Copies of this chain bind each other. A is one copy, B any other.
Amino acid sequence: MGKIELPIIAINFKTYQQATGERAVLLAQTCEKVAQEFGVSVVVAPQIPDLYRVSRAVSIPVFSQHMDAGDPGRFTGHILGETLVEAGCSGTLLNHSENRMLLADIEASIRKAEKLHLYTIVCTNNPLVSVAAASLGPNAVAVEPPELIGTGISVSQAQPEVISGTVEKIRAVNKDIVILCGAGISNGEDVAAATKLGAQGVLLASAVAKSKEPEKVLTDLVRPLRE
Contact = CB atoms under 8 A, between A and B. Distances in A.
Interface in A70-100: 70, 72-80, 82-84, 86-87, 89, 93, 95-100
A65 interface: yes
A219 interface: no
Interface string A155-183: 00000000000000000010000000000
A21 B52 CA distance: 10
A55 to B, nearest CB: 10
A47 interface: yes
Copies of the chain in the assembly: 4
Interface residues of A, number: 64
Interface string A82-126: 111011010001011111111111110000000000000000111
A20 B78 CA distance: 12
Interface stretch (A1-9, A10-18, A30-38, A184-192): A10-18
Contact of A132 (B15, B70, B107, B125): B107
A129 B102 contact: no
